[in-house]
Amino acid sequence: MKFAVVVFPGSNCDHDAYHAARHVLGQDAVFVWHKETSLQGADAVILPGGFSHGDYLRTGAIARFSPVMNTVTAFARGGGPVLGICNGFQILLEAGLLPGAMLRNKDLKFHCEHVHLRVEQTDTPFTLRAPVGQTLRIPIAHGEGNYFAEPDVLRDLEASRRVVFRYCDTSGIATPGSNPNGAVNNIAGICNEGRNVVGLMPHPERACEPALGSADGLVLFESVVSALAAQASLP
Amino acid sequence: MSAHDSAVLERHGLKPDEYDRIVQALGREPSLTELGIFSVMWSEHCSYKSSRIHLKKLPTRGPRVLQGPGENAGAVDIGGGLAAVFKIESHNHPSFIEPYQGAATGVGGIIRDIFTMGARPIALLNSLRFGPMDGATGARTRRTVEGVVAGIAGYGNSIGIPTIGGEIAFEDCYAGNPLVNVMCLGIARSDALVKGNAGGVGNPVYYVGARTGRDGIHGATMASAEFDDRSAEKRPAVQVGDPFMEKLLLEACLELMKGDALIGVQDMGAAGLTCATSEMGARGGCGIEIDVQHVPQRETGMTPYEIMLSESQERMLLVVKRGREAEVEAIFQKWDLHAARIGSVTETGLLQVKSRGETVAEIPNAALVDEAPVYDRPTARPRYLDEVHRLDLESLTPVSPQQALGSLLSSPTIASKRWVYRQYDHMVRTNTLVLAGMGAGVVRVKGTPRALAMSTDGNGRYCYLDPRRGAMLALAEAARNVACAGAVPIGATNCLNFGNPEKPDIMWGLVEAIEGLSDACRALDIPITGGNVSLYNETDGRAIFPTPVIGVVGLIEDASCALGRSFRAAGSEIVLLGASVGRGDAEPKGRAASAGLGGSEYLKILHGLIAGDVPHLDLEAERALLALLAKATAGRLLLSAHDCSDGGLAVTLAESAFDSGGIGCLVDLPAEGAMGEWDVLADLFGEAGGRVVVSVAAGSLGPLMDLAAECGVPARRVGRTGGDRIAVTVGGRAAIDWKLADAERLWSEALAQYFARPAA
Amino acid sequence: MKARVFVTLKPSVLDPQGRTIADALHSMGYTGVGDVRQGKYFELDVDAPSADQTRAVAAEVADKLLANPVIESYRIEVDG
């Protein structure tokens, strides 16, 4: 299968996502410049981390006006798997492909560290290979990952089982102490109603090789490969 | 009588005899614009006029050196057709005036130096010095620390280059003059290093990047003057960084460098457009003619003087091949950058500056660059040295080892720096093999089996007591740190932070440090490929300690051999490599134990003393130790390795147990004869160089001991990992017995606690 | 004409920066200062013939880009 890694001028985890897809997973991967409008026939799209357009106004605020975002939106509406990582998640929020918004971390500091995540839902293309309740050790690196949504939006997210990842402690319990940024309900990642668009603040692409301290993030990429293979094998 | 009165000269930091030399070089009186241009190029910061004759003593060549000092950064061969391009630079003065922007633009500047060479930056380190975190200046220091750390994070994180290491120390002398030294390393193809040369008469000169404003005018001269009460008024001189602009410049320049349209490139850092045009011209042996009306400007009504001297950030000067303009402009356009053609290369050897066609400055490049003043300033050994070497331990009350360890682990210099490095993205680019802990950082080089280890080190306290040996110890420690990570040191960069060189005792320290560094580099075969000198680090006449900071780069041929400092398994053997105890084998025992504790963190923290002889150092032994570590790591004999430095052996053992997931240790140090209290303390907390604590699987103990014997390095098994305590005895007598979790909590929370207080 | 756009977090949204500033002010002795809310301020030079039209352009820009309606609200002032 083929991953498209979208490159905004301030993306800086684009090479990492590409490396994970291409060199760790052994799949095909292409960079798609934000001014382009073709995904070059990719089967899945990754919006990588970084500071898309400097993000001086708000994270991801300007990226959603990039030409490529119309294509990504159409791809997502057509059911194609889209993964937004960190800044990519923020862009998905700004673009309205996922609900809610990001606030600055509650302590106003950038956090780069390993955290634990509980996989809450496995019926998305990015989590189907993970058992429910699995705890993943994956790094975060952000200053604005404090997820916020109005109470009714939040209720709807929880009711429709769209919280995909939650910050938790080592034993898988979502505690206040294991929440690195103040995100409401310890939310680390969510999906859309169609469940094909997933956004999360942690960086699974940084946790794909044991040499880097953890390979727990690999399951997200393996899942989408499985999901697409299953789809392809359908009559 | 000159055309400019003495007040004008003073404002430009020019001495009367320097003015006379300008008149001589031009054959006439300079215009004000020309005076400004001379003043920045002949400033200490740009001309190295006080240090240049001494810097020549440093060894700069070696089989791996591809680029020594003189270009934007140095480069060493790391095999596989690749080069590591690196340099360290200071941004002390701007960071004192505006900590966030000062530190941020320091990071931006050093990154530009690296990608200007055609290298993709892959790692940042920083070496920071601040005043004490408490006491009268504590509140201000805490604000400075917060600002500097946030500034480094803000810039490095945005641009996506991991900050993988460095060090931070706290000392009274930095309260009014913090140090912010930033190192960057990049990877380039060895055969594609780009130089800062102009060449080819008629070739166009392009300006790319941020527009020019009035910010930073006279930054270079500011960095060449002492601070006083009026320094706050100099605030407008501080530049504001734009990491997004720099990211665009980085990507666009690297894309341009893949082709062959480029002749040379230089960033506009200190002394801005003036420095870039004159240095590129001087290196290429040609002239450059520009018209400032074509320079993109952010403010209206800027004069040629202001445009030439502005230090606005994120700007690059390029010389490209004639006829390739469209290609070059298209690449910058892709990245939403505007490349402005501001002039062309000439055969005159002159820097010719025009404003709307009218000449406003015309100066031979050689006069600005090669013929800048060089001083052999007088030196005098400072008087204080006679006093500080005296250390009478008998007049002090020894502190129990356990209490001492607690005080040291919670002292800001030794305490965990997690509060700091958690704010730095130290993992982006997915190369970081040894996570930041402010020891050596290790990054793999993708596409090769190799990895690079980097460490910056320097101890102002040692250099205050003995600048010569202090500088040697700095290099030795940095080399030892990368060796502990499994690397062979292959190159170094230095940042020399000193006071006012016009004072003979300061100048003496500078010369001593350079000579010491030079000797140590030769003894350990580590060439210096570039660096930076930061002088006039004084506030209200009080100088900082002499503080040479050394960044060493080491090569690991097999990235999977990279080592961390923490114990990896319970039941492994702990071996002390090198001289067995803190005072060093060469030092006599007994009352002379003072020698072993001289200059130590123990004496400073527990007794408030900075005194005695600096720690022992034996360069031959150090060299043997580096060789042993290289062989032992390549042979996969070691599980962990951590050198003894601040806080001595006791702190090294504790730190080896920290971050290990709760693996304690049981250690018995050898006693030699009757051990007095001070002998025990010297063994535990003395900071003699050349010692490393390693842990090895039981089955590897024999081979390691054999290898150590073969390399001529003393090695002694001193204990075993395991349990949940840090337990150390000396000659069987209990010295330290502490629950690991408690000690680790103390160490890991100490620094953050200073910032939990309201920032009133 | 000049339009000034003030963007602030909605009252229902926690403002960690504002709270930190308020805490600092309280510890400095400014107990009379209650809540602090921080926000963003924009000055737009708009090429439009009337104040109403200037305001309309500013509102459109604020809706589309300057403010995120999920968390922020805005207020506009127009000169003249």
ipTM (interface pTM):
0.96
Residue B441 neighbours by CB distance under 10 Å: 30
**B590 pLDDT higher than 50:** no
Q: What is the average pLDDT across C47-63?
A: 95
Catalytic residue numbers of A read 86, 203, 205
Q: What is the average pLDDT across B695-702?
A: 97
Query: If you compute the radius of gyration of chain C from its CA atoms, what whole number of angstroms results?
Result: 16
Please say whether the beta carbons of B359 and B353 come within 8 A. yes
A-contacting residues in C 6-35 (Cβ below 8 Å)? 9, 12-14, 16-17, 20
Hey, are the CB atoms on B430 and A19 less than 8 Å from each other? yes
Contacts of A19 in chain B (CB under 8 A): 430, 446
Mean pLDDT value across chain B: 92
Q: Pick the residue from chain C with its C-alpha nearest to B760.
A: C28
**B251 pLDDT higher than 80:** yes
The full length of chain C comes to 80
**A231 pLDDT higher than 90:** no
Q: Which of A12, A110, A205 has the CB atom closest to B160's CB atom?
A: A12
What is the model's pLDDT at position C67?
93
Tokens of A19: 């490396």
By percentage, how much of chain B surpasses pLDDT 90? 84
* 3-class state of residue C53 by DSSP: helix
Please say whether the beta carbons of B316 and B202 come within 8 A. no
**B222 pLDDT higher than 90:** no
Assess whether B45 carries a catalytic annotation.
Answer: yes
Q: Which of B91, B426, B616, B642 is catalytic?
A: B91
Interchain contact A148–C (C-beta under 8 A): yes
What is the model's pLDDT at position B235?
41
Mean pLDDT value across chain A: 96
Phi, psi torsion values for B696, nearest 5 degrees: -135, 150
What is the model's pLDDT at position B220?
57
Hey, are the CB atoms on A148 and C65 less than 8 Å from each other? no
CATH architecture of C2-79: 2-Layer Sandwich (3.30)
- List, for residues A188-229, the tens digit of each pLDDT value: 999 999 999 999 999 999 999 999 999 999 999 999 999 999
Contacts of C28 in chain B (CB under 8 A): 760
What is the model's pLDDT at position B676?
87
For residue A124, what pLDDT band results from cuts at 50, 70 and 90? Answer: very high
Q: Which domains does chain A have, with CATH numbers?
A: 2-232 (3.40.50.880)
Hey, are the CB atoms on A212 and B430 less than 8 Å from each other? yes
Interchain contact C28–B (C-beta under 8 A): yes
Residues in B lying within 8 Å of C, measured between beta carbons: 758-760
DSSP tag of B613: P
The angle formed by the CA atoms of residues B613, B618 and B619, to the nearest 5 degrees, is: 125
Hey, are the CB atoms on B760 and C24 less than 8 Å from each other? yes
By percentage, how much of chain A surpasses pLDDT 70? 100
What is the model's pLDDT at position A234?
75
Q: How far is Cα B155 from Cα B247, in angstroms, rounded to an integer? A: 10
Q: Where are the alpha helices (DSSP H) in A84-161?
A: 87-94, 151-159
Q: Pick the residue from chain A with its C-alpha nearest to B560.
A: A211
Helices B504-524 and B467-484 sit at what angle, rounded to 10 degrees? 40
Hey, are the CB atoms on A141 and B157 less than 8 Å from each other? yes
Please say whether the beta carbons of B687 and B615 come within 8 A. yes
Q: How far is CA B116 from the centre of its chain?
A: 19
**B216 pLDDT higher than 50:** yes
Flag the least confident range among B309-313, B543-547, B742-746.
Answer: B309-313
B-contacting residues in C 40-79 (Cβ below 8 Å)? none
- Name which of A15, A65, A110, A144 to mutate to probe chain B: the one with the most chain B Cβ atoms within 10 A of its Cβ: A110
Better pLDDT: B169 or C27: B169
Please say whether the beta carbons of B22 and B38 come within 8 A. yes
Q: How far is Cα B283 from Cα B265, in angstroms, rounded to an integer? A: 11
Residues in A lying within 8 Å of B, measured between beta carbons: 9-13, 15-16, 19-20, 49-51, 53-56, 109-113, 139, 141, 143, 203, 205-206, 208-209, 211-213
How many angstroms separate the CA of residue C46 from the nearest CA in chain B? Answer: 19
DSSP element (H, E) containing B187: strand B179-189
**A134 pLDDT higher than 80:** yes
In sequence order, what are the residues at sequence separation of 6 or more whose Cβ sits closer than 8 angstroms to the Cβ of residue A16?
Answer: A48, A49, A203, A205, A206, B428, B429, B430
Q: What is the average pLDDT across B542-546?
A: 96
For residue A92, what pLDDT band results from cuts at 50, 70 and 90? Answer: very high
Hey, are the CB atoms on B429 and A15 less than 8 Å from each other? yes
What is the model's pLDDT at position B240?
83
| Residue with tokens 């290196």, as numbered in its chain | B283
Assess whether B54 carries a catalytic annotation.
Answer: no
The angle formed by the CA atoms of residues B543, B549 and B553, to the nearest 5 degrees, is: 170
Phi, psi torsion values for B146, nearest 5 degrees: -60, -45
For residue A35, what pLDDT band results from cuts at 50, 70 and 90? Answer: very high
Tokens of B353: 């500056």
What is the model's pLDDT at position B579?
76
**B571 pLDDT higher than 70:** yes
What is the model's pLDDT at position B10?
86
Q: How far is Cα B226 from Cα B500, in angstroms, rounded to an integer? A: 7
What is the model's pLDDT at position B2?
66
Q: Where are the alpha helices (DSSP H) in B573-700?
A: 594-597, 601-607, 619-634, 648-657, 677-685
Interchain contact C65–A (C-beta under 8 A): yes
**Residue pairs spanning A and B at CB distance below 8 A:** 86
